[in-house]
Amino acid sequence: MTYDLFMGDRMFSSWSLRGWLMLEKFGIPYRSHMVGLYSGIMAQDLAQVAPARQVPTLRTPEGVVVGQSLAMAETLAERHPDAGLWPSDPAQRATARWLCAEMVSSFTALRGQCPMQLLHIYQGFEPSEATRADLERIETLWAHARSVSGAHTGPLFGRYSLADVFYAPVAARIVGYGLSVSAASRAYCLELLSDTSVRQWRAMGATVNYDPMPYAMDLPTSPWPVGTSGSARAVANGPSINANCPYSGKPVTDYLEMDGRIWGFCNPFCRDKTVADPGAWPKFIAMTAAG
């Protein structure tokens, strides 16, 4: 039972991140299809799932097309009741649905003034009054969720749920623009962004070069706070310590050097996503530890 997920750019598409996390975090099998969000071929790439016209879009194993993130979430929760997409407690589940629905329908100032980007932290960004009001409302909702669940730290409802999926891109906006929130809210944001799946998503996004850079601002920047390349860098030649790619098991053709040792991968994408954040990839870390 494998789904097809049609999604846009990883570094900038907040809704695509939500769609991917719905499947990735809850162990639901899927194939991903990248849509030309910035290349002008988006309509062409989505033609096979018409009348869907936005990302993400889901196609079920039976061929049913589901557009819009909230509809995708409910469809997956209905079809996979044991996966735990929603909290099991009825009050928590109702509250989580409320938070997700308000995310979809609201916070237009924050979303408009602060497009999601996972590149760096902008320094000196000044949010509008409307954006500050959105942040205040978001913190109110997060506090309410914790009052219902009793979870003072970590996921809003104690266990990772669709509520955390829907607010992960919000966390990226708060951190990426240096927006002022409480210490507790900032800790929650950093926890969402530190999740291995989110780090992997960002690392895969870092393999793409942009010209021009979407949503660029003329402001100084500081490094993204979670996940770095460290000493890892792409190199042209081996030999590598390993003969097979840690991800696919195929023979190596592309290489990186880290801490004076050379490791191999089956294609440039596998190498470059690892260069972007070696610590995000458990299979790579296990290989280097064993080597």
pTM: 0.96
Indicate whether 213 belongs to any domain: no
Cα gap 243→247, rounded to integer Å? 12
What average pLDDT score do residues 104-128 get? 98
Which CATH number characterizes residue 170's domain?
Answer: 1.20.1050.10
pLDDT per position as a tens digit, 20-74: 999 999 999 999 999 998 888 999 999 999 999 999 999 999 999 999 999 999 9
The continuous run of DSSP H or E covering 221 comes out as strand 221-223
Indicate whether 227 belongs to any domain: no
Residue-number span of the structural domain to which 73 is assigned: 3-83
Domain boundary among 83, 116, 143: 83
Asked whether residue 30 falls in the same domain as residue 65, the answer is yes
Query: Mean pLDDT across the chain, nearest whole number?
Result: 97
* Residues of the chain above pLDDT 70, percent: 100
Domain boundary among 68, 83, 98: 83
Q: What is the 3-state secondary structure (H, E, C) of 18-67?
A: HHHHHHHCCCCCEEEEECCCCCCCHHHHCHHHCCCCCCCEEECCCCCEEE
Indicate whether 9 belongs to any domain: yes
Count of helix runs (H) and strand runs (E) in the chain: 11, 9
Counted domains in the chain? 3
Q: Is 38 exposed, middle or buried (0-12, 13-18, 19+ CB in 10 A)?
A: middle
Asked whether residue 66 falls in the same domain as residue 100, the answer is no
Indicate whether 218 belongs to any domain: no
Domain boundary among 58, 83, 108: 83
Indicate whether 211 belongs to any domain: no
Indicate whether 221 belongs to any domain: no
Cα gap 286→290, rounded to integer Å? 6
- What pLDDT shows up at residue 238? 94
The amino acid present at 191, given as its one-letter code, is E
Indicate whether 222 belongs to any domain: no
Cα gap 1→24, rounded to integer Å? 14
Asked whether residue 44 falls in the same domain as residue 145, the answer is no
Asked whether residue 38 falls in the same domain as residue 71, the answer is yes
DSSP class per residue in 251-273: BP-EEEEETTEEEEESSHHHHHH
Cα gap 6→4, rounded to integer Å? 7
Q: Select from 84, 72, 53 the least CA-distant residue to 166.
A: 72
